[in-house]
Structure 1
Amino acid sequence: MIKDDFLVKTPEGLYCAYGDFYLDPELPVQNAVISHAHGDHARAGNANVYATAFTKELMLLRYKKKAAKEFFIKGYKQEFSLNNVKLSFYPAGHILGSAMVLMEFDGARYLYTGDYKMQEDSTCEKIELPLADVLITESTFANPKVKHPDATGEIKKLNAISSNILLGVYGLGKAQRITALINEFCPTKEVHVHYSIFPIHQLYNRFDVNIGKYSLYNRKSLKQNGENQIYLIPPLTFNSYRRAVGVARVFASGWEYLQQGNDLSLYISDHVDWEDILNTISIVKPTEVWTLHGDGNHLKVFLKEKVRTKIL
């Protein structure tokens, strides 16, 4: 039987009272189930953290001793219980170590997606979607107007630019995916990475993920080579280089506003688009869809005659 209050929004984050735990809490809590290592989902200061092995290592890299008092590492499909709720992680396809959280209680199955994607990505585990009675889905791009293009076609656009490129990327997940794509589809390009991204690349390598060739950026190497060098930089650094000359400016993102003013659009997203969400619903076969992390109104209107929908 589905509990309408199985998950509720609180100041600390999304809370399950039946299991006394939070999903990706926004403030420090006693029991935190973390879907993946991005900073808006994996925050410091929690007492007990339940996560995948990579998420733990990234949190330790970022937060050091403040990452958590204790980690409980769980593999995919490994069942564990928090009070009266049975949980298991399923690959979310978002970044390395990202997990959807399947929760079972009183005969009902609830699937919290966290962030997820269905596009191919050699740098993370492929998404697996279990059946569930309730789908709790992110709705970042839950708009019928949004259709993410094929990442291979997008990355090949870089081959048309011979000058050096300043390529804005998010440092975790996107940077590693872009590095792998450039190595595979842009053979004349050389990848240099910002010092803040370099240790994350190295962590991917330690987890035996092949992201291809790359080097730590140094100013001299790009000055001496005026063509076919790509420098991956985080958003804040990208914004500070607005007056850079002799280089092309590109930003890899699904957001249209981040393409404005650049020399080339590069629509590569690590989230599901509208059709992907509908495909997810068809696979999971929920009787209810709950939305969060974005605008769920389009889904609510679209599904109103088919599936009960709630915006968390």
Structure 2
Amino acid sequence: MMQTPRAESWVKVRPGGLWIEPGDFFIDPTRPASRAVITHGHADHARPNNGHVLATPATIAIMQARYGDQAGATLQSLPYGQDLTINDVKLRFVPAGHVLGSAQVVLDWRGSRVVVSGDYKRSFDPTCDAFEPVEADVFITEATFGLPIFRHPDPQDEIAKLLHSVSLYPERSHVVGAYSLGKCQRVIALLRRAGWDQPIWLHGALQPLCELYERLGIPLGDLRPATTAKKNDMAGQMVLAPPSEISERWSRRLPDPVTCVASGWMQVRQRAKQRGVELPLVISDHADWDELCRTLHEVVRGEVWVTHGREDALLRMAELEGMKARALRLVGFEDDEA
């Protein structure tokens, strides 16, 4: 009778990232690889110039929009829930709830199951499929907000704060710093859900991916370019821009803007103060401490490995709960606009 292999015998850390040895492919490689499985479209996970790329259809579309011909030498899309066998390794994608197209990678080989989470969250997001827990012998998780101090509020309550501020200052524009992929579209969709039916004005850097989201079936409503609007048109209006632009020359054309940033890091008051943010919005696309702990309790039937982030507290929690735990300490993954 064949013995079930231990995960560390076939899932390994290499200079290029997480390597699945019997399948001969990397997951989210940090340098160009001949075969890459990509969890989602953020640039620290989906890098250009790989050989064969496998991802969900939405992630493939995002990579093509961002990288053009450099998205990969060959591109293969695999919808959620469909199995694909690569050199005897069975692979399928299940939703991660991070951004549109984001996926966990479920790997089965000779009776051993490893699930690679990619980046994920458990809170409500109308722009992407919700996280689906899958039990695993080894669950490989991120830990961007892996400290007990990080407990994110309901994102809809943060949107209510934003709308309340608009009602208090109808003569001012509100410029919201939001990352171009995922966060921007989520903020827009949450605003629409909360009843904001007026135009939303966009910095030019945000327009292409918003247009792509709409082509992929995510309605965002009336979006207009802020660069062509008159200053008075944006009084009492909502303007979205990359976080790096909200305090730059570009924002000076807005009528007395209230500066906001949507990020999990806005829970850290010093970060908000250093960036001159008047209205911090704690809206994160990553799991907070409670979501990380809940997920481990739901899916881990053996070990948890932590790829990146704040590993130590999560590892300690896992060990206290009787799970084996280790830190992979992968490099090259960013969390600045989480």
- State the TM bucket, normalised to the shorter chain: over 0.9
Q: Choose the corresponding residue for 1:208, options 202, 206, 217.
A: 217
- The answer to whether structure 1 residue 43 and structure 2 residue 53 are counterparts is no
- Cα offset, 1:279, TM superposition: 1.1
Q: CA 1:188–1:103 in 2, change beyond 3 Å: closer, same or farther?
A: closer
Structure 1, residues 242-288: CA drift from partner, whole Å, max 9, x if none? 98471110000001254222111100000001110111112213310
Give the whole-Å Cα distance in 1 for the aligned partners of 2:234 and 2:73. 48
Contact 1:132 1:286 in 2 (8 A): yes
- Cα offset, 1:186, TM superposition: 5.2
Residue in 2 that maps onto 1:11: 15
1:138-177 residue pairs with structure 2 within 5 A? 138-159=142-163, 160-161=165-166, 162=169, 163-177=172-186
- The answer to whether structure 1 residue 253 and structure 2 residue 263 are counterparts is yes
Residue in 2 that maps onto 1:74: 78
Give the whole-Å Cα distance in 2 for the aligned partners of 1:6 and 1:137. 17
- The answer to whether structure 1 residue 308 and structure 2 residue 324 are counterparts is yes
Give the whole-Å Cα distance in 2 for the aligned partners of 1:217 and 1:293. 36
Higher helix content, 1 or 2: 2
Give the whole-Å Cα distance in 1 for the aligned partners of 2:271 and 2:236. 23
Match of 1:4, SS? Answer: helix
Give the whole-Å Cα distance in 1 for the aligned partners of 2:300 and 2:16. 30
User: How many corresponding residue pairs?
Assistant: 311
- The answer to whether structure 1 residue 282 and structure 2 residue 294 are counterparts is no
Contact 2:197 2:221 in 1 (8 A): no
Ranges in structure 1 where 5+ consecutive residues have no aligned partner: none
Give the whole-Å Cα distance in 2 for the aligned partners of 1:139 and 1:213. 36
Give the whole-Å Cα distance in 2 for the aligned partners of 1:106 and 1:146. 38
Give the whole-Å Cα distance in 1 for the aligned partners of 2:311 and 2:301. 16
Ranges in structure 2 where 5+ consecutive residues have no aligned partner: 329-338
Residue in 2 that maps onto 1:237: 245
Question: Which deviates further from its counterpart, 132-141 or 2-11?
Answer: 2-11
Question: Which deviates further from its counterpart, 298-307 or 185-194?
Answer: 185-194
Match of 2:75, SS? Answer: strand
**Aligned-CA RMSD value:** 1.7
Provide the identity percentage.
Answer: 36
Q: Choose the corresponding residue for 2:280, options 251, 258, 265.
A: 265
Residue in 1 that maps onto 2:332: none
Contact 2:98 2:285 in 1 (8 A): yes
1:161-200 residue pairs with structure 2 within 5 A? 161=166, 162=169, 163-185=172-194, 187=196, 190-200=199-209
Give the whole-Å Cα distance in 1 for the aligned partners of 2:301 and 2:250. 46
- The answer to whether structure 1 residue 224 and structure 2 residue 232 are counterparts is yes
Q: CA 1:123–1:188 in 2, change beyond 3 Å: closer, same or farther?
A: closer
Structure 1, residues 92-122: CA drift from partner, whole Å, max 9, x if none? 1111100000001121110100001111111
Q: CA 1:58–1:226 in 2, change beyond 3 Å: closer, same or farther?
A: closer
Letter in 1 for 2:79: G
TM-score (norm 2): 0.88
Give the whole-Å Cα distance in 1 for the aligned partners of 2:126 and 2:15. 37
Letter in 1 for 2:300: K
Give the whole-Å Cα distance in 2 for the aligned partners of 1:265 and 1:115. 22
Contact 1:123 1:211 in 2 (8 A): no
Residue in 2 that maps onto 1:87: 91
Match of 2:46, SS? Answer: coil
TM-score (norm 1): 0.95
Give the whole-Å Cα distance in 1 for the aligned partners of 2:159 and 2:280. 10
- Cα offset, 1:194, TM superposition: 1.5
- Cα offset, 1:7, TM superposition: 2.5
Letter in 2 for 1:111: V
Question: Which deviates further from its counterpart, 188-197 or 44-53?
Answer: 188-197
Contact 1:251 1:258 in 2 (8 A): no
- Cα offset, 1:239, TM superposition: 4.5
Match of 1:14, SS? Answer: strand
Match of 2:64, SS? Answer: helix
